[in-house]
Amino acid sequence: MRLTQILLKKSKSKDILVLMESVVSGHKYIQRRERLSEKLELFKYDPYNLSLSG
């Protein structure tokens, strides 16, 4: 994971790492997205709430 973080911090990198947080429980996870794309907003399984959260 550390090597990926170093490669994605470069200014010419195509992708960046984004820290996503669950609205319901506050559970955090890392998602990768393109640098020039829109902000991410998605539904993902929340292990603490045991349901889909967005």
| Residue 22 confidence (pLDDT) | 85
| Residue 54 confidence (pLDDT) | 59
Can you tell me the distance from the alpha carbon of 5 to that of 53, in angstroms, rounded to the nearest whole number? 26
Domains of the chain, by residue range, sit at: 12-36
| Residue 40 confidence (pLDDT) | 83
Q: What pTM was computed for the model?
A: 0.62
| Residue 13 confidence (pLDDT) | 80
Exposure string (b/e) for 31-47, b if CB count within 10 Å is 16 or more? eeeeeeeeeeeeeeebe
Per-residue pLDDT tens for 3-50?
677 777 777 788 888 888 888 888 888 888 888 889 888 888 777 777
Concatenate the DSSP letters of all residues of the chain into one string. Answer: -HHHHHHHTSTT-SEEEEEEE-TTT--EEEEEEETTSPPP---EEETTTTEEE-
